[in-house]
Amino acid sequence: MSNTSNGKMADGLPQVVRRDERQCVTLTFNGRERSAYCEPRDLLSDFIRHELGATGTHVGCEHGVCGACTVHVGGVAARSCLMLAVQAQGQRIDTVEGLAPDMVLGDLQEAFQRHHALQCGFCTAGILMSCADYLQRVPDPSEAQVRDMLSGHLCRCTGYTPIVAAVLDVAARRRHRNVTGDALEASHA
User: Smallest gap, in angstroms, from Cβ of residue 163 to ligand FES?
Assistant: 8
- Return the C-alpha torsion angle 132, 134, 137, 138, nearest 10: -120
Is the Cα dihedral 138, 142, 148, 151 positive or negative?
positive
Stretch that binds ligand FES, among 3-11, 30-38, 55-63, 139-147 (CB under 6 A): 55-63
User: Smallest gap, in angstroms, from Cβ of residue 128 to ligand FES?
Assistant: 11
User: Smallest gap, in angstroms, from Cβ of residue 81 to ligand FES?
Assistant: 3
64 touches ligand FES by CB under 6 A: yes
Stretch that binds ligand FES, among 13-21, 28-36, 150-158, 164-172 (CB under 6 A): 150-158
Name the nearest CA neighbour of 40 among 60, 63, 16: 16
23 touches ligand FES by CB under 6 A: no
Stretch that binds ligand FES, among 12-20, 90-98, 155-163, 164-172 (CB under 6 A): 155-163
Answer for the pair 48, 71: CB distance below 8 angstroms, yes or no.
yes
165 touches ligand FES by CB under 6 A: no
Q: Strand, coil or helix: what is 46? A: helix
List Cα–Cα distances, 36 to 15, 62, 85, 106, in angstroms.
21, 22, 10, 28
**Single-letter amino acid code for the residue at 2:** S
54 touches ligand FES by CB under 6 A: no
Residues that bind ligand FES (CB under 6 A): 59-62, 64-69, 79, 81, 118-124, 155-158
